[in-house]
Structure 1
Amino acid sequence: MEPFHGPDEVESYRRRLGILNSMVNMSEKIWISWTDDWQAQVIMDSMQHVTLKMTHVNLQQEAFVTIVYAKCTAIERLELWDSIFQATLNIQGPWIVGGYFNVILKADEKLGGLPIHLSETADLSHFVNNCGLMELKYSANPFSEFQAKMKKVKMALAKWNLHKAQAELTNNLHLEEACWKQKSGMRWFKDSDRNTKFFHYYVKGRRKKLSLQRIQNSQGDWISSNDDIGEEAVTFYQDQFRQLDTSTEYEMLKKIPALISTEQNESLIALPSNEVVKLAVYGLNGDSTSGPDGFSVHFFQVCWHIIGEDVTKMARAFFYGQDLPRFINHTNLVLIPKKEVVNTFTDLRPISLSTFANKSSPESCMRGL
């Protein structure tokens, strides 16, 4: 990595991450951390790479790791290739090389920008062949792959030509009504009604009711400025949702009798099929408010024949227990009053406006159960 902080701060980051071991290479551009399950021995430390011999404490198995941060010019990178090749003389066992090479092997690995020079790719290819390395193909995280595709969809929609919609006034009226319908959150609506002023007043009154003019903080003092209310809200809900301690005592689970058969358990842990995920998606309310990414459930229901396979992949990854990236579980909290007069944040109910991906994956698992 290329840190924007000095090497003297590596200790601070090590403590924040809860990792016992860390080091910085001689160029101060590469920071490395490892858990106490491993012992590290520096084989070679240079300006553009560091090579370590990693030994697993319990298994006593060895592996070699080379982390690269290459220079910008081809001449300087020649020194890098030669230096790593010299390090291979001390490597006997599994070896992985990774990092920032500042050059690619093939032209199709690059999009846009300046053209590549074949001589530079030839240098890297020569290095890979001489060291007996094999390129590992990228396997996308289902969540990241899904997010990337949705970004492309949003870009395409932004560029979409709306000439077809400009011809008829009725189409515009339908769009306007749908917009106010969504903002008002009203689920009853007749197609023959055409009264956007009504929705406008409804939304305006709703927003006025939901707005906070003042509120009491944790000390019982009244605060009224937006900044103070915002800070108090963050503090209140951070304390409410923070997990203070985690129980590691599972002895009581042994006292719970087994009530299902092996066959029933196998069906419960089976991966959700495409049909189960589809039922979960169509079981969600299509008219519900869209999440932070701007895509509503209705969009995925209508376009299921296009994106259904990607949604199923994502649901299966969740079923396997794969960690949800932040862009998936990111949510907006909307505070709904629990009573007519709001005095403190305990008088408000937080409602989560999650993304479709955050809703559909758990729903698919529940449908499977």
Structure 2
Amino acid sequence: MIAILEPFSDNSHMNMFKSMLAMDYATSNNNGKIWLFWTNDISCKVLEVDEQQVTCELSHVEAPSTYINTFVYAKCKEYLRRPLWDRLLHFADNINTTPWCTVGDFNVITDIDEKLGGIPYNMRKSLEFIRVIEACGLMDLGFNGPKFTWSNQRDINFRIWKRLDRAMVNDRWLQDMPHTSITHLPSVGSDHCPLLMEMSARTEDHIKYFKFLNFWADQPSFLTTVTDCWSRHIDGNPMWVFHQKLKRVASTLSTWSKTQFGDVYATVRDYEDRVKSAEESLIHDNTEENRTALHEIDAEYIKFMKYEDSILRQKSQLQWFREGDGNTKYFHALIRGRRRKLFIHKILNDKDEWIQGDEHIAEAACMHFQNIFTGEDKHIDEVPMNCIPRIVTQEQNDSLKAIPTIEELKEVVFSMNPNSAAGPDGMNGCFFQKCWSIIKHDLLAVIQAFFNGQMMPKYFSHACLVLLPKVKNPNKLSEYRPISVWV
């Protein structure tokens, strides 16, 4: 599908361009500023058209699910763009369950870094656009290629660059099509860069790993559950014992969570419907029994909303989040956006060639690191090392090699951020702090075994993380005290 903005030609020439582009269908908006072309592979139903946007319901023959695209060509004047913002807000309120993407020339930027040259930009011109983006729950898809999409094409002393063109999607789009990418192509014969949107389908065969949820630690039965599981005896060296106990606790907590809470998101939706039903019953029959039932359902509803709030806060990893700041649409979009950044859409190899496709990307990455870590056998002359003065005294060396104590280990554990991202085992700082009294002796045994030179068994997939507590004078090596914590 191809969208052309401001074609500098009237609609009478649209069919000629349709043939030149080898397209099967074509349409335009009211003033002929937006032309759309598409082939038989795409089913397109135009939902709404005005002077600044064309909104279509699309589906592909290879992917029968539908999605909505709004192609935008915004007015240059700020007050003339307001009807467009109103339509975007209308779409956001009415298509929450459908993937939605709005793409095109918005004629406004969202950050001062999106402009280069000219007089300093006044961000007040962008506040209305930014508010619309947040109210619609839209996430910018980002881009590959040049940073700016428009230039005024003037002499070098008067040239201005801006990023006026972008693609933004709602949470449902990120959920269904997280592999969407935008590339800024070279601008040839135009003052704008063309945008190339690629929507690649990938099979989701990843394993869903365990992840500790912080709100578990506030439940009355949590510590008892962990204690009963952890106290069961396991034979082996300290590292193996600790590793196996963590695996067992993870499995136990997963089962315990399913029994205690089930699917928190589904439960919240269920209680929302039950509250509405109970309120209707109370309106029709104002009895003490119905009032009591409504209060009980309200209490359970609030409890599970707090659980959902805690999960969203942990997933979004926002340190500034405060009670009452919850916005489900915003946080879901933020979480999906963070997850989307983990996908590798294309990679630049050593020959400055862009590689696409999972298999080709994996092959290029393997070759790159093989070249880095493959070296020639060469004799290293250690004689020049004798010229380097020794600055570490024996006393400092003994301090560095000293076996950590339980007090030092506790200081390190409780200096961890409880909301930090979990390690490969799924346990974060909150687990270690809340369960300190239960796991401290096994954890200390692991640290001391490591400092005593015991190697990690080959079946371990974890790693020892060496944490250095804050020091007053980082230039004094004697004030550094390495402590290893198993995560």
TM-score tier by shorter-chain length is 0.3 to 0.5
TM-score (norm 2): 0.37
Greater helix content: 1
